[in-house]
Copies of this chain bind each other. A is one copy, B any other.
Amino acid sequence: MLDFQAILNAIYNKGIAAKNKGTVATYIPELAEVDINNFGIHLRTAQGEEFGVGDDNKLFSIQSISKVLALSKAMALIGEDIWKRVDVEPSGDPFNHLSQLELENGIPRNPLINSGAIVISDILISNLKNPKEDFLSYIRDLAGDESIQYNLDVANSEKATGFKNYAAAYLLKSFKNLQNPVEEVLDFYFHQCAIEMTCSQLTKTFFFLSNQGKCILNKVHLRKSQAKRINAIMLTCGFYDEAGEFAFEVGLPGKSGVGGGIVALLPDQFVITCWSPGLNAKGNSKLGMLALEEFTTQTKLSIF
């Protein structure tokens, strides 16, 4: 039987000793100021056992990882109608994100790139009474943890500098793929990105996707087939330009964020969250990627 704690410890020790820990994102001060030496890993098995190491109880900005949660909420609310407005294909290069959106007439490639997540935010606004409050409640329910919060400083900084997201939102609007006002949609979108969690909280939150739609409190949040589909989308689209590489090297559905977090899971087996703020050239956590490669190499646990 696998000794998960020993495996995580070994991975942590190897990671923390690495000379090159990548580069912390600097486009907003709240991310730029995070200490690059942070490194945490947290694992939860299908049986509910938990294992952690390092900074797995420190809060960090989950950033794009929130896109998976927004998608799952939208799927719960309107089901297959989502796919009239967003596709499910991998997107390739992030550097020409707007070009692709323009060439494809305002239909984002998938819900895990910025333009797709902006459309999902628009869907949530049209279907929730109090979008920001209701979405936060949803996350808290998934995690079984009422302490989870938006970091308002982060939300405001994103809003003040997120010009490319404004460009994407207006382009969507020009193609009539945004029903609510751009300012309102982006305010909600930037708040989602600004949710803070620990590795431990994030692992609990994502448990439902490894558990056929049922959260840690055993409440059904998605149908089994819906959870499977979100996993398929994470596998093909969860890592920007490195989605193929992640499937190739790690072989798990997962999602990364520019705050340095990565969540990955093996259906019916486990959820694992890594966090280290230094990013590699493709914008994914450097130590996080290495940790997950190491983890699946050592445990032989992957979907392939």
B residues near A90, Cβ cutoff 8 Å: 89-90, 92, 236, 243-244
Offer 28 A-B interface pairs, CB within 8 angstroms, sorted by A.
A87-B244, A88-B244, A89-B241, A89-B242, A90-B92, A92-B92, A92-B100, A92-B109, A95-B102, A96-B102, A96-B103, A98-B98, A98-B102, A98-B167, A99-B99, A99-B103, A110-B244, A163-B173, A166-B167, A167-B167, A167-B168, A167-B169, A228-B302, A232-B247, A232-B304, A236-B243, A236-B244, A237-B244
The chain B residue with its CB closest to the CB of A303 is B303
Task: Check A228/B241 contact, CB under 8 A, given A92-B90, A167-B170, A167-B171.
Answer: no
Bound-state Cα–Cα, A92 to B101, Å: 13
A83 to chain B, nearest CB (A): 9
Count identical subunits in the complex.
4
Q: Are B170 and A174 in contact (CB under 8 A)?
A: no
Q: Mark contacts of A63-87 with chain B using CB atoms, 8 A cut-off: 1 yes-contact digit, 0 otherwise.
A: 0000000000000000000000001
| Chain A stretch 5-34: residues in CB contact (< 8 A) with chain B | none
With A110-B244, A163-B173, A171-B163 in contact, is A304–B236 under 8 Å at CB?
no
Chain B residues closer than 8 Å to A97, beta-carbon distance? 102
With contacts A164-B170, A171-B167, A235-B236 taken as known, whether A88 is within 8 angstroms of B253 at the C-beta atoms is no
> CB-CB < 8 A to A3: which residues of B?
none
Considering the chains assembled together, what is the distance between the CA atoms of A88 and B248 in angstroms?
A: 8
Query: With A164-B171, A167-B167 as given contacts, are A235 and B247 in contact (CB-CB < 8 Å)?
Result: yes
Any chain B CB within 8 A of the CB of A205? no
Binary contact readout A155-179 vs B (1 if CB under 8 angstroms, 0 otherwise):
0000000011011111101100000
**A245 surroundings in chain B (CB, below 8 A):** 88-89
Q: Which residues of B contact A248 (CB under 8 A)?
A: 88, 229, 232-233, 236
Residue of B nearest to A90 (CB): B90
In the assembly, what is the distance between CA of A170 and CA of B98, in Å? 12
Query: Closest approach, in angstroms, between the C-beta of A208 and any C-beta of chain B?
Result: 14
Q: Per-position contact with B for A219-252: 1 when CB-CB < 8 Å, else 0? A: 0000001001101110111000111110110010
- Whether, in the assembled complex, A200 has its beta carbon less than 8 Å from a beta carbon of chain B, the answer is no
A277: Cβ under 8 A from any B Cβ: no
Chain B CB within 8 A of A91 CB: yes
Q: Does A267 contact B (CB under 8 A)?
A: yes
Which of A173, A235, A245 is the most central at the interface, judged by chain B CB atoms within 10 Å of its CB? A235
Which A residues, 21 to 74, have Cβ-Cβ distances below 8 Å to chain B? none
**Residue from A96, A99, A236 with most neighbouring chain B CB atoms (10 Å):** A236
CA A92 – CA B171 in complex, angstroms?
20
In the bound complex, residues from chain B placing their C-beta under 8 Å from that of A100 are 92
How many whole Å from A28's CB to the nearest CB in chain B?
14
Instruction: Closest B residue to A178 by CB, please name it.
Output: B163
Please report which residues of chain A, range 187-238, place their CB below 8 angstroms from some CB of chain B when the two chains form the complex: 225, 228-229, 231-233, 235-237
Contact B174 A89 (CB under 8 A): no
